[in-house]
Amino acid sequence: HADRATPGRIHEMESYHGMLACVIAGAGLALIPRSMLESMPGHQQVSAWPLAEEWRWLTTWLVWRRGAKTRQLEAFIALLNDDRQTAVSP
């Protein structure tokens, strides 16, 4: 970013519970969706700060194994597309 700050050691975890446990133990910080954080035991032991608007939204990709596109997957994709169009419509 503009201040050229660089992090020290970076650990990536797939478990939000593991991330929260590390933060509670004093081993750094984590990026966790607020709804997930509030649903976990121990959330009251940490401080939460919303990210600046420019960092709040990101693109999430739906991925599946090549050649494994089923009717159920196609229906799910259609639901996601409907929700996306509804979200952008006035």
- For residue 11, tell me if it sits in a domain: no
Total of domains in the chain: 1
State the Cα–Cα distance between residues 34 and 48, nearest whole angstrom.
8
Query: Is residue 2 one of the residues assigned to a domain?
Result: no
pTM of the model: 0.62
Q: Which two tokens stand for residue 64?
A: 């599946």
pLDDT tens by residue, 16-39: 999 999 999 998 899 999 999 999
Separation CA 26–CA 12 (nearest Å):
16
Q: Is residue 64 part of a domain?
A: yes
| Full domain range(s) for residue 30 | 16-88
Of the pLDDT bands very low, low, confident and very high (cuts 50, 70, 90), residue 59 is confident
61, part of any domain: yes
Q: What does DSSP assign to residue 27?
A: S
What pLDDT sits at residue 60? Answer: 82
